[in-house]
Every structure is written in C-alpha cells, then in structure tokens.
Amino acid sequence: MSVSQFIKRKKLTVFVPLIIAGLIKVCEFLFDVIFGDGDGNISQPVVKQILKYLYLFCFAAFFLTWIVLKFRNKTKTEMIFQAIFSGILVVFTFFLAEITVYLLLCFSINIVSGSPNYITSYSAISKPMAYFHKETGYKWKPGEARIIRVMNNELIYDYRFIINNSGYHSARNYNTKKDSLAFRIMVMGDSFTNEIYEEPWIDKIQRKSDSLGKKLEWYAFSSDGGGLYNWHEIFFNEIVPSYDFDAIVISSFIDNLNRGYSIFDSEDNEQFKFARFNKIPNSLEDFNKNFLPKMGPTFYVLNEAGMDSVKNVIVNKKPKVIKWNFYLSKHIYNTYLKNPDEIPSAYKLPNAYSLKDMEKLSAKEIIEKMRQKYPPNHINMLEKIITYCKQNNKKVILSCVPKREFLVDYLKSAQDNIYRAEIKAAAEVYEVYYFDGYKVFEGVKSENVPEYYLKFDGHWAEKGSSAYAGKLLEFVNNNLNKNGKN
C-alpha cells in the first residue's frame, strides 16, 4: 500500500499533529513539576516558551494537513467551494464554542480565567481607590470601602477597610513626628501585612502594645502585590524624608525579594488593574502610555448593591445573566497570540540552586547565589536599606511570612524552604535581627494549618495574622531597645 493510499483510506495523518500536541502538553506539565521553583513558577522560561510555540505549530500542522487532504485532486471550482464551506464551518464551530463558554459562565462554571462576570471567582472593591504614584508604585486614596471575594462559588471575605491619611490600610492616621519617649517601628510587607480583607495585624499589634503600656508605635508601609523594589522606593522616597522612626521590620513572603515594581491603578473607575515591571515609569504620561495597557484586572469596581447581588447568587446558586463578550477569543488571544510585553511584567527566576545546595553553603555564599538568582540590583536594594539603618542607628528585623503549604511541611517534618533559608542567611550576613514566622506556629498540628489561612485564597486569616503579631510583639519587647543591636 502506498503512502497516498494509506492517507486516503485511513486519514490518520491528520491526527498526528494533535497527538504530538498532546505529548507536548504532557511534557510541559512534567517540566512544571520537575523544574518548578516551589511556587508553581517555571525556572527555565525559555524552554517553556519553546514548548508553547511547538504546541501552536502542531495545531497549525493539523489544519494544514486537513486542508491538503480536503483539496487533493479537486477542480478549481470544487476547491473554491470547499474553501468557502470549510471557512464557514470553522467560523460556525468557533461561534458555537463561544456560545457554550458564555452559557457556562452564566452558570458559574469557571473555564476561562480572567472573565470579570462569573461568580465562581470574583473580586471587587466598592470604590476606585488606587492610583499610580511614581515614588511608591501606587497609593490608596484615604477613606472607607468594601471589598468582597468569591472563590469556587464560596464567599471568602466581605470586609470594610479604612485607608488612612498616608494611603495605607490602618484605622489610625500616621504622624510624621513622634513622641521622644516612643519607639516607632516601620513595617514593610505585601498583602499579608496590608490585609485589606480583614483588620490589619499592624493595628492589632498596636492595640496590644497600648494595653501593655508599651510606648511602641507601629506603622505599616505595605504594598499589595509588591516586594523589595517597592519597599526600596517607599523607604527612601517616603519614610526617610518624612518620618521619625527607630526600627524597621521587613516582613517578606516567599517571592517578595524577586518581585518587580508593582502598580495598582483604578482610575478608569471600572477595574483595579495590576502588573509588575522591571523599571519605574518616568511620569504619569509614560505610565498611561507604556505601562497601563500592559496591566490586567485583579479587582473590579462594584457598588454595594452589586456586591449584595453577587452574594445572593452564591447563596441561591442561581444562574447569572452576564454581558455578552467574546470570552473564549480573548482568552486564546491573551494566552497564545498576544505579543510579549516590551516591559516585562514579572521577573523569571533562574534555577540558581536547590534547597539541598543551600545546606552545603555558608550564609555569605547564599547571598552571592541570591545575587545571581534575583533581578539586577535587588540585593543591592536590600543592602542599601540595611546600610542606611545601621548608619543612622535604626534597628532592622528581617522576617519570613510562611506560605500555607510550606508551613505544613515545616510542622510535619521541620522541612525548610529556599525563601526562609535566604532570609535567615541575609539576617546573619548583615548582622540584623531575624524573626522566624514559621516558629510562630510551632505547636500547631499540621492538619490544623488551614484554620490559620483563608479557604482557597492562600492569605492568612485573622487567626494566622494575630498569631504572627503576638509573637512579633514578644520578640520586640525581649530584644529591641535603644541601646541594642544594629
């Protein structure tokens, strides 16, 4: 049997590219599992990019093979007719897929990430309160707002938060000058510290300090979604020029040292858009022109009546009629066809070392590895903050905030993780205090860890942040004083 006869009779060749595409997807999954950095991120982005384009190439080969088989031995008229018919069939089939996606979204089935209207996963804030700020990344507008989040058709939180006069989540306004007898501590962290979904631990620790008669003042300068790049700018552009202070706490979640310059913006009054960049916009005009178009929605602006409607849908499991949009097309475009950002929205971590490697390294060697692993100048930023504090007699505490899954491993078998080991190494090398957020939960059974974190979400719940705040206060009372370390 000739090859052409085999093709004609069996028509199997047309499926070969699809089979290869499936194998590539399997390889991509295995690559994620084997070479992930412990947080679901790929440490060799170039290889993953190659796999993506091979995957697309296989689908293109499938359609080309199908077309060749359809048009073999056809007259010109038949080919034209076949082409028109095939085009109509493809468009009709894709339109049916769009309708299917739309109906599934109406019934709250999450199959297209990023759609603003389905109830399976939905986050909204009642007012457009975030805006670009060149010197800090972004600011929150002072005032009160409501935030709501739904995941897997369950209400995760519904909370009213207050933004103070300085643009941070706290019921207390900040004063630039402090009482000479007070010991003021500035905290820099991310959403685990800002906590717009519940009372921030910075207010809890202040209340506890006051009840104990301690002359401690706790101010948080946290950046939701942010990290070291934002902290560096906040520290030198806002804290140092404007505030009296005696100490800083850098409360670092897993990848905070790696994160790019994080920006929130809701000035279109419809969405809270967010992205991370590897450079700072030069001006508001530069931001609007070159950065804002690359940002995607994380929260939506929704009035309180709309929030109540969302809660009603969840409680009664009603289908929700949503605005028609080409959700499937947009998902395909954003996932596979959109040109890469000219300004990268996130840094990729090289596979610098593993946890086993770290066990063989000294603290100084780990810092040198961190210089290779993290973006240019990031470790220098950390050093500049610490150096300033030391030169000006300010105390420094480096602390690690535990990720839920890592905390379970730690409580089960005392298993360390790269991020915790890096913060410990930095504290040792730079001779500053180290506060271990994992040890806060020693004594908790690993199976009870979910009680300390929000369901599905990953952030810690009131129980978790309160435990951290309580132990941190003990640490400060036991270790820091005006004649102490640093």
Count CB neighbours of 50 within 10 A: 12
| In a domain? residue 117 | no
- Cα–Cα distance for residue pair 163/125, rounded to 1 Å: 13
The residue written with tokens 């986050």 in the block is: 123
User: Of 82, 106, 130, which residue sits at a domain end?
Assistant: 106
The answer on 392 and 248 residing in a single domain is yes
- Same domain membership, residue 242 and residue 384: yes
In this structure, is residue 485 part of a structural domain? no
| 184 and 246 Cβ atoms separated by less than 8 Å | yes
Phi, psi of 280 (to 5 degrees): -95, 135
In a domain, 405, yes or no: yes
For residue 11, tell me if it sits in a domain.
Answer: yes
| Single residue among 70, 85, 106 that ends a domain in this structure | 106
Q: How far apart are CA 45 and CA 67, in angstroms?
A: 33
Do residue 69 and residue 180 come from a single domain?
Answer: no
Dig out the tokens for 472 from the structure: 């941190």
Q: Tell me which residue of 433, 434, 426, 436 sits closest to 383, measured CA to CA.
A: 426
pTM above 0.75, yes or no: no
C-alpha span between 298 and 122 (Å, rounded): 9
CATH number of the domain that residue 194 is part of = 3.40.50.1110
In the chain, the N- to C-terminal Cα span, in Å, equals: 84
User: 171 Cβ partners below 8 Å, 6+ apart?
Assistant: 162, 164, 199, 203
Residue at 197 is within a domain: yes
Domain membership flag for residue 133:
no
Residue 353 confidence (pLDDT): 57
Same domain, residue pair 201 and 97: no
Domain that holds residue 17: 3-106
In a shared domain, residues 86 and 218:
no
pLDDT at residue number 346: 40
pLDDT at 3: 47
95 and 194 both lie in a single domain:
no
State phi, psi for 415 to the nearest 5 degrees.
Answer: -70, 130
Whether residues 357 and 436 fall in one domain = yes
Instruction: Specify if 327 maps to a domain.
Output: no
Contact of 139 with 131, CB cutoff 8 Å: yes
What is the structure's pLDDT at 40?
Answer: 37
The whole-angstrom separation of Cα 2 and Cα 375 is: 57
The β-bridge partners of 419 are: none
One-letter amino acid of 227? G
374 with 458, same domain: the answer is yes
Query: Distance between CA 357 and CA 345 in Å, rounded?
Result: 29
On whether both 391 and 242 belong to a single domain, the answer is yes
Rounded distance, CA 362 to CA 374, Å? 18
Neighbouring C-alpha atoms within 13 Å toward the C-beta of 479: 16
Query: Each residue's pLDDT tens digit in the chain (486 positions)?
Result: 454 554 454 455 555 555 665 666 666 555 554 444 333 333 344 455 555 556 566 666 666 666 666 666 667 776 676 667 666 766 777 777 777 766 666 654 343 333 334 445 678 899 999 999 989 999 999 999 999 988 777 888 999 999 999 999 999 999 999 988 899 999 999 999 999 999 999 999 999 999 988 899 999 999 998 999 999 999 999 999 999 999 999 999 988 888 889 999 998 888 899 999 988 999 999 999 999 988 888 888 988 888 888 777 666 655 555 566 666 676 666 655 554 443 333 444 444 556 677 778 888 988 888 888 888 788 999 999 999 999 999 999 999 999 988 899 899 888 888 889 899 999 999 999 999 999 999 999 988 999 999 988 889 999 999 999 999 999 999 987 543 334
Looking at the structure, do residues 357 and 467 belong to the same domain, yes or no?
yes
Contact yes or no for 70/275 (Cβ under 8 A)? no
Which of these, 166, 249, 234, lies nearest to 473 by C-alpha position? 249
Q: Which of 106, 132, 147 is the last residue of a domain?
A: 106
**462 and 369 housed in the same domain:** yes
Number of domains comprising the chain = 2
The answer to the question of residue 154 being in a domain is no
